[in-house]
């Protein structure tokens, strides 16, 4: 044990004397996105796709991306912007300043050595956005947590999105309510109730809900999440475990929230942790309730 400690100290001194080498990171355009007209109040509008690649030296840790807003629309017509990796939001949603750049911090996103990942810049359009306003975004820079230089191959700018008027936009609001019974060790425990309400009188098809756990319970403490309706029937696929702190549940089948209806769901999971672990769930952004307006009546 004493020999190992000495070896670790010696290696530490040696490594400090050798210059560190970082991965070379490049950003190129990702899958092309064609933008046209988007309605007032639209959420999760795909603006720009980026392919971020690392050299074969070391994996790289992306910390933030910086964009500038362009075109003739007012930046305040964009409610929030954020980054997505597939169906997972990998950044906080941030407001776009009237002047200057918008910096989007990314949550510990590793780019594998010799590999790449694709991210999409998403925008939520304000319900009060001016009709006929046009919006685009240009990537200015990328920042790595270790000081790695990021190379941008070419100017990467989205096509323009034109906002159209659609009257009162349909929105689904969510409220988290306590479970009806105390959470104890065991299978299929009620973790939280989710109240979904339609706003705007539009029929909305709800397809997925994303929650963040800001408590101390981690992947090994909670398993097999699913949503249940008031009849006790499962209305979602089973999510085996959290993705870090994220719980994204896909409705299966999806359901339509008619007009201003209210729907109450219960999130259940197998609880494998002691009472010392805490569960503090939050729906961070309105767009974390994924819903699309439908016309079926």
Does the pTM of the predicted model rise above 0.75? yes
User: Hunting for tokens 């270790």 — which residue is that?
Assistant: 146
Residue 258 pLDDT: 86
Query: Of 164, 199, 224, which residue is a domain's last?
Result: 164
Residue 255 pLDDT: 87
Domain co-membership, 30 together with 138: yes
Q: What is the pLDDT of residues 75-89, one digit of tens each?
A: 999 999 999 999 899
Kindly report the CATH number assigned to the domain that includes residue 42: 2.60.40
Is residue 78 in a domain?
Answer: yes
Pair of tokens at residue 294 = 């439908």
Least confident piece of the model among 46-60, 99-113, 166-180? 166-180
Residue 21 pLDDT: 52
Domain co-membership, 150 together with 205: no
- Residue pair 96/45 in contact by the 8 Å Cβ criterion: no
What's the total number of domains in the chain?
2
Average pLDDT over residues 257-279: 88
3-state class of 275 per DSSP? coil
What is the domain range of residue 53? 23-164
pLDDT band of 99, cuts 50, 70, 90:
confident
Is residue 8 in a domain?
Answer: no
Query: Of 164, 194, 209, which residue is a domain's last?
Result: 164
Residue 269 pLDDT: 95
Is residue 11 in a domain?
Answer: no
Q: Which of 102, 109, 119 is nearest to 66 (CA)?
A: 102
When the pLDDT of each residue in the chain is averaged and rounded to a whole number, the result is 85
Domain co-membership, 131 together with 252: no
Q: Is the pLDDT score of 283 beyond 90?
A: yes
Residue 137 Cα distances to 43, 78, 164, angstroms: 16, 11, 18
Query: Of 164, 194, 211, which residue is a domain's last?
Result: 164
Is residue 102 in a domain?
Answer: yes
Domain co-membership, 50 together with 179: no
Is residue 110 in a domain?
Answer: yes
């Amino acid at each position: 044990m004493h020999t190992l400690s000495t070896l670790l100290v010696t290696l530490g001194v040696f490594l400090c004397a050798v210059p560190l080498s970082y991965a070379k990171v490049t950003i190129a355009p990702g899958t092309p996105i064609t933008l046209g007209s988007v309605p007032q109040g639209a959420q999760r509008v795909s603006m720009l796709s980026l392919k971020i690649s690392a050299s074969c030296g070391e994996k790289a840790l992306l910390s933030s991306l910086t964009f500038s807003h362009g075109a003739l629309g007012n930046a305040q017509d964009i409610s929030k912007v954020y980054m997505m990796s597939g169906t997972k939001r990998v950044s906080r949603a941030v407001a776009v300043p009237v002047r200057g750049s918008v910096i989007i911090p990314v949550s510990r996103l590793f780019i594998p050595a010799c590999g790449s990942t694709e991210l999409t810049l998403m925008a939520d359009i304000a319900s009060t956005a001016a009709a006929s306003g046009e919006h685009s975004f240009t990537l200015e820079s990328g920042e790595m947590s270790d000081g790695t230089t990021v190379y941008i191959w070419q100017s990467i700018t989205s096509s323009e999105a034109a906002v159209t008027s659609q009257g009162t936009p349909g929105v689904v609001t969510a409220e988290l309510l306590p479970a009806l019974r105390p959470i104890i060790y065991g299978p299929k425990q009620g973790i939280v109730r989710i109240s979904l309400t339609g706003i705007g009188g539009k029929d909305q098809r709800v397809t997925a809900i994303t929650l963040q756990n800001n408590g101390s319970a981690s992947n090994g403490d909670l398993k097999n999440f699913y949503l249940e309706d008031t009849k006790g029937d499962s209305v979602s696929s089973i999510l085996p475990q959290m993705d870090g702190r994220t719980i994204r549940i896909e409705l299966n089948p999806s359901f339509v929230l008619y007009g201003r209806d209210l729907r109450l769901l219960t999130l259940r999971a197998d609880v494998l942790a002691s009472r010392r672990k805490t569960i503090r769930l939050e729906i961070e952004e309105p767009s974390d309730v994924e819903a699309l307006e439908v016309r079926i009546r």
